[in-house]
Amino acid sequence: MQTNWKIGSLFGIPLFLDPLWFVILGLATLNFGVAYQEWGSVTAWSAGLIMALLLFGSVLLHELGHSLAARSQGIKVNSITLFLFGGIAAIEEESKTPGKAFQVAIAGPLVSIGLFLLLRIASSVIPDTSPVSMMVDDLARINLVVALFNLIPGLPLDGGQVLKAALWKITGDRFQAVHWAAKAGQILGYSAIALGFAVDFFTRELVTGLWIALLGWFAVRNANTYDRVTTLQETLLKVTAADAMTRDFRVIDADQTLRSFADTYLLAATPEVYFAASDGRYRGMVAIEDLRLVERSVWETQTLHSIAHPLTEIPSVTESTAIAEVIKKLENEQLPRITVLTPAGAVAGIIDRGDIVKALAQKLDLQVTDAEIKRIKEEGNYPPGLQLGVIAKSID
């Protein structure tokens, strides 16, 4: 369920706020307000709130840098969200080359560095005695810190994306590059957690130590996600339609009348997939819905040939098609299932979403119950949180 709040759009990209964003907004306001108390209480707290908002404005521009770099490559950007740890741009798919991936990764830090330089220039022309000068200087330093922090070489940070692009270029293997960059992120994240507890223990700076540990936890959590999703992407390319398909269909005589077919199969306890055949050849798929569209007065004379959909006209894939392509076809065309054909054009099997989840669970050694597979088949929906359509599209 969507819990984020939409606050508008920028360059056609929807902008969202996570409810926890208000926590960090309050903490940032408190931090700046305390620092500016020499200006008087009202001015200090007003300046603190303005600085907190400008801080997140800078974060927004940082994420916009990534987004526009991705859009320049024809990649869709679904949204930008501000949340507890900063911001994130939801970019739909991976860049096609290491060079283009580097461009998207470095765009955010370059924006932050650009803001730092512009703000430093602005502060040089503002009188030093003005409170605005101090605020501009602080905002300049914050943007520099944002840029340098994000360049730490480990996923999910921008530096991890830069590292991934470099490793991709060196190895020629994008998946291996992500695994290594995610491992770097995990190491850095666990190190941050340890540092946070050390800061708390030795300096008694509970808030500082806790914040460092939380950043480390966030890094580990997201690095693990990158690693798992990449493993899933690799599997989606390795598993083929032949690996996942079943033969849960019935081959029936195409020469029988519609009446005969109705009497035998219309009241079947469970819906089935039917393929009509005659003279040793498949004539097409037969759908119960098509039978109901034919006047009953002609059921005695018309055969299944009249309502069979030729195999060349129904959604299908070959046995060697990667499951990633099968998933995309199911999602793009909103199909309940898809037919798998042999190289000779005969029916080899059928695949639905339940079959896909079962095949992936076997490959990845995951526990999925028969009841869950049955539910997926009946409802036609993947389990909550398993966004196979999005993940498959991301490896386009």
What is the DSSP code string of 44-93? Answer: HHHHHHHHHHHHHHHHHHHHHHHHHHHHTTT--EEEEEEETTEEEEEE-S
What's the Cα-to-Cα distance from 389 to each of 48, 75, 301, 328, 395, rounded to whole Å? 43, 16, 44, 6, 11
Do the Cβ atoms of 319 and 232 come closer than 8 Å? no
Per-residue CA distances from 378 to 174, 270, 324, 390 (Å): 36, 11, 21, 21
Does residue 93 have an active-site annotation? no
Catalytic residue among 63, 295, 313, 325: 63
Task: Give the SS3 label for residue 16.
Answer: strand
Residue 280 CA to residue 104 CA, distance in Å, equals 55
- Residues recorded for the chain: 396
**Orientation angle between helical segments 41-71 and 98-124, nearest 10 degrees:** 150
21: number of Cβ within 10 Å: 20
Alpha helices in 239-250 (DSSP H): 241-244
Q: At 322, give phi and psi (nearest 5°).
A: -65, 145
> Do 213 and 371 form a contact (C-beta atoms < 8 A)?
no
- Distant-in-sequence, close-in-space partners of 377: CB < 8 Å, separation ≥ 6: 352, 353, 354, 355
SS3 of 381, please?
coil
Strand order in the sheet with 274-278: 250-253, 274-278, 281-286
Question: Catalytic residue positions?
Answer: 63
